[in-house]
């Protein structure tokens, strides 16, 4: 197990700060605010023990690969698209990263967050004043989009610092909006959270054919009302809105290598005009324009 300090781990200028296969790309946005893209391309899982030696709040979005987190007696596993918010100065974290793990992490001091967020800072409530916070939830589409934008920008050496700054603040803003542990714990039990995650996985299994609400409810053991309400509460989006977003995201990828007709067919559309309308609603351009680079 590798022993590290958080300040060293996220400092990409520090020699051999992380274990082999670990790559950290960090950009300081302003004093007290920085963002990092962390990637593991090791051949096997990597275990790290790290102490949070800076009084920063951490806002993370898992982009790929699982991670097991243990701090004190509390342990949890995070998967793709899940979020973690933590504030635990001087606490030791034990982490086990999957070989292909990738996550985006924004760190900010409480003072800087209070200056930037104003009233939204109060959403964190007693979690910060109690000097310990570890909260997880599943990412909504806005946070995911902001995280992917930041990932692309941090991977581009020629990217404008102003764009990175803007994308970082957007990522932070949506993270704060999603943070409401009291509301989530009151509405969704741990068992129902697992059922809702299973429903999401089943929903997105085949983007050419969405299951019915009745099918999802039957397969996951939730009644239809709990399924619809729980989905909205946990993922901040309705069932079919999520399906359509992911479907159009897949369409955007397919259009890079396939024509509009073939893409529509692969995603289950028998009417190309219906596909074009859905794509334009999502991205503001027609599929044929996306093929010409309108979304690059």
- pLDDT tens column, 236-291: 678 998 899 889 989 988 998 999 999 999 999 999 999 999 998 888 889 998 88
CATH number of the domain bearing residue 250: 1.10.10.60
Residue 54 shares a structural domain with residue 170: yes
CATH for 119: 2.60.120.10
Are residues 231 and 263 both part of a single domain?
Answer: no
pLDDT tens per residue, range 34-48: 999 988 887 778 888
- Asked if residue 293 and residue 168 are part of one domain, the reply reads no
- Whole-model pTM: value is 0.62
Question: Same domain for 258 and 155?
Answer: no
What Rg value do the Cα atoms of the chain yield, rounded? Answer: 20
Residues 139 and 285 in one domain: no
172 and 257 belong to one structural domain = no
Domain count, the chain: 3
Shared domain check, 247 and 201: no
Q: Are residues 253 and 205 in the same domain?
A: no
Asked if residue 191 has pLDDT above 90, the reply is no
pLDDT greater than 80 at residue 178? no
Q: Are residues 248 and 271 in the same domain?
A: yes
Q: Do 56 and 110 share a domain, yes or no?
A: yes
- The DSSP symbol for 162 reads H
Candidates 293, 196, 208, 198; CA nearest to 237 is 196
**CA angle 187-207-278, nearest 5°?**
90
For 113-172, the DSSP string reads HHHHHGGGGGGGTHHHHTT-EEEEEEPPHHHHHHHHHHHHHHT-TT--HHHHHHHHHHHH
Domain encompassing residue 218: 188-236
Q: Are residues 152 and 193 in the same domain?
A: no
Q: Label each residue of 63-84 as H, E or C.
A: EECCEEEEECCEEEEECCCEEE
Cα 56 from Cα 58, distance rounded (Å): 6
**Same domain, residue pair 129 and 254:** no
Percent of the chain with pLDDT over 90: 29
């Amino acid at each position: 197990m590798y022993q590290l300090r958080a300040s060293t781990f996220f400092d990409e200028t520090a020699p051999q700060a992380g274990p082999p296969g670990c790559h950290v790309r960090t950009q300081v946005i302003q004093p007290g605010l920085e963002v990092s893209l962390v990637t593991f391309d090791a051949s096997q899982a990597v275990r790290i023990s790290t102490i949070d030696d800076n009084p920063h709040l951490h806002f993370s979005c898992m982009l790929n690969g699982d991670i097991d987190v243990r701090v004190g007696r509390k342990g949890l596993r995070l998967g793709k698209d899940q979020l973690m918010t933590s504030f635990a100065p001087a606490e030791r974290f034990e982490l086990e990263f999957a070989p292909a793990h990738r996550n985006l992490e924004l760190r900010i001091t409480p003072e800087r967050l209070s200056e930037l967020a104003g009233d939204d800072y109060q959403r964190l409530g007693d979690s910060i004043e109690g000097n310990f916070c570890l909260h997880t939830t599943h990412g909504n589409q806005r946070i995911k989009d902001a995280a992917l934008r930041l990932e692309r920008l941090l991977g581009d050496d020629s990217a404008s610092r102003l764009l990175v700054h803007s994308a970082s603040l957007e990522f932070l803003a949506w993270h704060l909006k999603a943070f409401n542990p009291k509301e989530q714990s009151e509405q969704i039990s741990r068992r129902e959270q697992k059922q809702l995650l299973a429903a999401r996985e089943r929903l997105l299994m085949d983007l050419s054919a969405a299951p019915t609400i009745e099918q999802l409810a039957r397969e996951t053991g939730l009644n239809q009302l709990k399924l619809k309400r729980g989905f909205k509460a946990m993922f901040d989006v309705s069932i079919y809105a999520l399906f359509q977003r992911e479907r159009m995201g897949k369409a955007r990828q397919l259009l890079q290598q396939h024509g509009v007709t073939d893409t529509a067919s692969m995603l289950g559309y028998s009417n190309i005009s219906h596909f074009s309308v859905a794509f334009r609603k999502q991205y503001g351009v027609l599929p044929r324009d996306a093929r010409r680079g309108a979304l690059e």
